[in-house]
Structure 1
């Protein structure tokens, strides 16, 4: 690949997946400037001015200086929030956080370069209801789904399925319970437990249970597709493979042509160059769409299978900037 200028990587300090990209870009001798939003404003200094229709200036940390005009692409890899002095008053902190988001973050999105992924479009694509509608619209097979806070509606939905159903959180639910790290994964709901009063407390998503021969993590990068079967060898892993990585085995596979075409159409409609898709494959070989993560992990798949996903990401980042590529 050919190109000029730096690749700006915005990521948390400890991110093994991001490290793969940095190592590959270093191997290619592509200049990289890595920073975390958490460094701003205490350890990351910004000075930029508008000249013509482009922003020019610098980004400085305690190690290096980046010429903003030299940025050819941005790898937006889950940076953490800006941090402020502990002694700052709460109200001042809220104002500073807002100004950092709209000022510092806004300037970065205004750079004339390509993004992987574009943060605005990636944020929109995180909405599960939008994902499901777009997936169905491009011809992917989507399980029957209900979103509700009505316990009676959940019971009616379960009765219409005539079998078990799944509860799925809309977003990552992680935290600490009694000093231990905890997370909420997809789970099977017994129809006999419905209606349940807790459903009225917030929005819930229920889907029909899809019998699985295995699941597939399909990673798409700028029109390239890398797919791997995930075979879980535990009860928890067969319900949601994220709950038990230790039980997995992996195998490279080729998606059916209609699935591959649907995946690329979906990314095009969402305005994304990258997506980590999850499918359930039934014993009859039917691929059922579960979700897409616009900034999903892929390192564990590459490590297990050798699929060259990092190289594809770096090819995209290294390529020449173009107005045809989404930025925001």
Structure 2
């Protein structure tokens, strides 16, 4: 029976997918849904875990109880400290917060709770090198790729290809912009010190007619074909375009 079940969704600020799912579950199944929104800059959440020989007790301003029947780890984020009073110790504090929060995410529910996307799986499957090796293992065609922080190897790789693109290992966000995969030439490269300290993913460009986003849920597959409405636009990544510029075709 689903009645009186407690559901936890861990997500980031303004995550419309998590909001939609939480709303649908609450309305359709009348379940108790808690959304844990990850901390944002300047908004550090308070968590305490008291353990001794007799008790193991969580205290937090996020939820009144950690007795969840199911947990969906939709997306996680770790806080960045911008307070000028913390600049001297910022890197240490951010590291400790990351370790602390990761441990909380791993132990947040009871052993009997049903997990969707547990943190160990999330961290492993977000590994770009692991993703490409797994794609190759199952027989998918993959682009010629270099993961590197070696300036000489990067320059040689780019120079040997007709066209290359650069990607980050994670989403790169500045205050007022987001970086997407982009074409790169040797003339675009920064100095060697920067390259050594900013590892990147360099791929031989594969000209595309469209992109497919495929989700496999057990034996059920959902695929979405994504292309631009304007056939004249030369593009590397569709994420930089608005919804009005994109054409999506869903297929079950």
Equivalent-residue separation in structure 2 for 1:83 and 1:194 (angstroms) = 29
Q: Could you tell me which residue of structure 2 aligns to residue 310 of structure 1?
A: none
Equivalent-residue separation in structure 2 for 1:139 and 1:184 (angstroms) = 30
TM-score normalized by structure 1? 0.59
Q: Could you tell me which residue of structure 2 aligns to residue 251 of structure 1?
A: 249
Answer yes or no: is the 8 Å Cα contact 1:151–1:195 preserved in 2: no
Answer yes or no: is the 8 Å Cα contact 2:146–2:154 preserved in 1: yes
Match among 199, 203, 211 for residue 203 of structure 1? 199
Equivalent-residue separation in structure 1 for 2:49 and 2:44 (angstroms) = 9
Answer yes or no: is the 8 Å Cα contact 1:73–1:113 preserved in 2: yes
Distance change >3 Å, CA 59–CA 221, structure 1 → 2 = farther
Report whether the alignment pairs 1:242 with 2:233. no
Aligned-pair CA distance for 1:233 = 4.0
Alignment RMSD (CA, Å)? 3.9
Q: How many residues align?
A: 240
Aligned-pair CA distance for 1:106 = 4.4
Bigger share in helix: 1
Report whether the alignment pairs 1:183 with 2:182. no
Q: Could you tell me which residue of structure 1 aligns to residue 208 of structure 2?
A: 212
Aligned-pair CA distance for 1:123 = 1.4
The higher relative CO (CA closer than 8 Å, separation ≥ 6) is in 1
TM-score normalized by structure 2? 0.75
Q: Could you tell me which residue of structure 2 aligns to residue 78 of structure 1?
A: 75
Q: Could you tell me which residue of structure 2 aligns to residue 113 of structure 1?
A: 113
Please list the CA deviations of residues 139-178 of structure 1 after superposition, one character each: whole Å capped at 9, or x if unmatched. 11111111233344334334544x21211112111012xx
Q: Could you tell me which residue of structure 1 aligns to residue 226 of structure 2?
A: 230
Distance change >3 Å, CA 109–CA 133, structure 1 → 2 = farther
Please list the CA deviations of residues 4-40 of structure 1 after superposition, one character each: whole Å capped at 9, or x if unmatched. 6311122234221111111111121122122235387
Equivalent-residue separation in structure 2 for 1:103 and 1:229 (angstroms) = 38
Distance change >3 Å, CA 145–CA 46, structure 1 → 2 = same
Equivalent-residue separation in structure 1 for 2:25 and 2:206 (angstroms) = 40
Structure 1 residues without counterparts, runs of 5 or longer: 255-328
